[in-house]
Amino acid sequence: MEQAVLKRKDKGVERVLIEADAVQQRVRELAAELDRIYVHETPLLIGVLTGAITFMTDLMREMDAELKVDFMAVSSYGDQVTSSGAVRILKDLNENIEGRHVLMVEDIVDSGLTLQYLLDVLQRRDPADIKVVALLRKPKAEALAVQTDLVGFDIPDEFVIGYGLDYAGRYRNLPYIGVLDPAEIEVTKSKTAILSQTPPLQDQ
Ligand code: IMP
């Protein structure tokens, strides 16, 4: 990144993939499309914590349709950059979705495993219909096969951060989508290795 514009939070970003303005413009377009879809319905927007928070809050403010929101949390990759394939629900919905128009709001579809799992779980609860809006989608074959009705950007197969997306819990507050510097992965790995060698605290 350019030295002149480097802020503390930009450290570890190899390059900007999608500028903040371009993200905002695309979110406005997606919101307009969703307004055309939900002219007569009140969709329930379901965000998948934590990565989707920024997209969700921007998207819903741009939408004109009457809507409601709810959140789910699923197990994430931890400090890993690849999907383990194992998905676990950590927080379920507050709302009953039977007969409702559900809109899944996803930050990113990588392998598509998380989304497919959630779609299967939610379908069994008999909603009127489920649509999916994903801000980012990677090119994996399985990801392309999973249901995504609207996609903000198709991106290359790189680990991205910012606009809600994290690496090891950091970088969510970047206003743009950036590519993580691979050197950061090594730094975090070695820090984790040092921490895991630290003996646990004993009870007093
Ligand atoms: P999937 O199950 O492989 O599609 O991964 C879905 C979840 O993994 C997303 O909701 C993100 O939380 C996380 N994830 C996947 N790729 C990335 C990435 O490039 N950056 C940050 N998080 C990612």
List pLDDT tens digits, range 129-167: 999 999 999 998 666 788 999 999 999 999 999 999 999
pLDDT of residue 51: 93
Atom of ligand 1 nearest to the CA of 143: 4
pLDDT of residue 83: 58
- The Cα–Cα gap between 137 and 93 comes to 24
No. of helices (H) and no. of strands (E), the chain: 5, 9
pLDDT of residue 54: 98
pLDDT of residue 5: 65
pLDDT of residue 8: 83
Ranges of the chain whose pLDDT falls below 50: 195-204
Distance from the alpha carbon of residue 190 to the mean position of ligand 1, in angstroms:
22
Which residue puts its alpha carbon closest to atom 11 of ligand 1? 108
pLDDT of residue 69: 98
Catalytic residue among 58, 107, 110, 166: 110
pLDDT of residue 81: 55
Distance from the alpha carbon of residue 188 to the mean position of ligand 1, in angstroms:
18
pLDDT of residue 200: 39
Atom of ligand 1 nearest to the CA of 111: 3
Residues with CB under 6 A from ligand 1: 48, 51, 76-77, 83, 107-115, 159-161, 165
Distance from the alpha carbon of residue 203 to the mean position of ligand 1, in angstroms:
37
Instruction: Give me the domains of the chain, ranges plus CATH numbers.
Output: 20-156 (3.40.50.2020)
Dihedral, 151, 29, 67, 124 alpha carbons, nearest 10 = -10
Distance from the alpha carbon of residue 94 to the mean position of ligand 1, in angstroms:
24
- 79 is an active site residue: no
Integer angstrom CA distances of residue 104 from 31, 55, 88: 13, 12, 17
Which residue puts its alpha carbon closest to atom 16 of ligand 1? 110
Atom of ligand 1 nearest to the CA of 110: 4
pLDDT of residue 124: 97
Strands, E, within 110-204: which ranges? 129-137, 150-154, 160-161, 177-180
Distance from the alpha carbon of residue 165 to the mean position of ligand 1, in angstroms:
8
